[in-house]
Amino acid sequence: MSCPAWLLKEIQYVQDPEWASYTLGVFVCQSCSGFHRNISQISKVKSVLLDPWSDAEVEFMASNGNDAAKAKYEQKVPVFYYRPTHTDCQLLREQWIRARYERKEFVCVERQEPYSAGYREGFLWKRGRDNGQFLSRKCILSERDGALKYFNKHDAREPKALMKIHTLNASFQPGKIGQPHGLQVTYLKNNSTRNIFVYHKDGKEMVDWFNAIRAARFHYLQVAFPGAHDADLVPKLTRNYIKEGYMEKTGPKHTEGFKKRWFTLDDRRLMYFKDPLDAYALGEMFIGSKEKGYIVLPGLPPSTQGYHWQFGITIVTPDRKFLFTCKTEGEQQDWMAAFQGLVNRPMLPQEYAGNHSHGSTQDLSKENIYIFYI
């Protein structure tokens, strides 16, 4: 027999729940069904619509379900632990499934020690700034020291870089880095954003590092904002970029030729790089709200010359106009939507000093102190 349609109607939060684990009693999407197959000793899956179902299997699904599994396997998920969505990379989604069902990390708290202890030490493969090669580097994350450090030599006493926890961000970038477990870590160095790119061959190891950074950030923010609710702090632990990709740009006089650059939109900060894996941005601009005089327009001023790509974007700020071009109309529309979303969003008081994305805790009240040098 087929699995009854009424069972599917019980699942409101699974996207396209056309697969099911008939040993765990949960419905899953097609993508996650592949991850469940990787733990076949625990989870056995079949198609809801195409595979035959026995009466016993249907009864098991009916008596269990996703809510029951959530109550059983997610009893003690740390508030800082990243819960991936269907848009996240494969590594995060697979390790979330393994953490729940295979390792039972959220039932046995002692299994959370690798990312909850406040201290983590190990070796990660780090991309060299100049030669682009990945080399093994000793890394230490210490809440007590308030920093993530890495060392160029295994026996070095002084770190090559000290990244303060309050400026840290981490996001998985497997396609950009070229490694399935690739993580981009950013921090402030001399008031400029610095990128480092790391990975580990063990997927669990890499996700543990990611959640350890989130834990350290969470505990830091709890101290910095003692009256804040957890729900207000969690979105600030790490963030994915709104959009990344290539565009062409010209200089402030609009007479220079357009150059192809890699752009990263990190909340209200638009940074550009010569190469996606550059350590430092060549420049950045702030994108404020329409109440502050920011406007996003399709196309370029009629007199503009020197561009190669035909789909232009003009961002008007209180100080000047910024001109960009995109290779395709689809890319233009995507960038326009991202910029317009920021322009339509009222600015928060702490955004006025341009330090919002760095997690600054100072009193931020001044306006128009941003540096525009794109």
Residue type, 154: H
As averages over each run of 10 residues, the pLDDT of the chain (374 residues) reads: 60 70 93 93 92 92 92 96 94 97 96 96 92 93 97 89 96 96 94 93 98 98 94 95 97 91 96 95 94 96 94 95 97 98 90 47 29 38
pLDDT recorded at residue 33: 93
Which of these CATH numbers, 2.30.29.30, 2.40.160.10, 3.30.230.10, 3.40.120.10, describes 113-236? 2.30.29.30
What pLDDT was estimated at residue 187? 95
Q: Are 340 and 314 in contact (CB under 8 A)?
A: no
Matching CATH topology for 113-236 and 243-347?
yes
pLDDT at 9: 56
The 10 Å Cβ neighbour count of residue 70 is: 15
Query: Is-contact 321 297, C-beta < 8 A?
Result: no
DSSP helix/strand/coil, 358 = helix
Query: Would you state the structure tokens that stand for residue 180, as one six-digit string?
Result: 């399935």
Q: What local confidence, expressed as pLDDT, does residue 357 receive?
A: 39
Q: Are strands 147-151 and 134-142 parallel, antiparallel or unpaired?
A: antiparallel
Closest Cα partner for 342 from 329, 357, 331? 357
Among residues 98, 82, 74, 83, the alpha carbon closest in space to that of 202 is found at: 98
Nearest to 206 by CA among 146, 324, 120: 120
Structure tokens at 132: 């682009």
pLDDT at position 352, please?
A: 65
**Euclidean distance between CA atoms 333 and 340, whole angstroms:** 10
Tell me the C-alpha distance between 181 and 316, whole Å: 38
- What phi, psi does 340 have (nearest 5°)? -65, -35
Q: CA angle, corner 200, sides to 81 and 44, nearest 5?
A: 65
Is CATH 2.30.29.30 the right assignment for the domain spanning 243-347?
yes
Query: Which tokens hold the place of 31?
Result: 């993508």
Q: Contact 365/347 with Cβ under 8 angstroms?
A: no
Q: Return the domain boundaries, the chain.
A: 19-102, 113-236, 243-347
CATH for 19-102 is 1.10.220.150
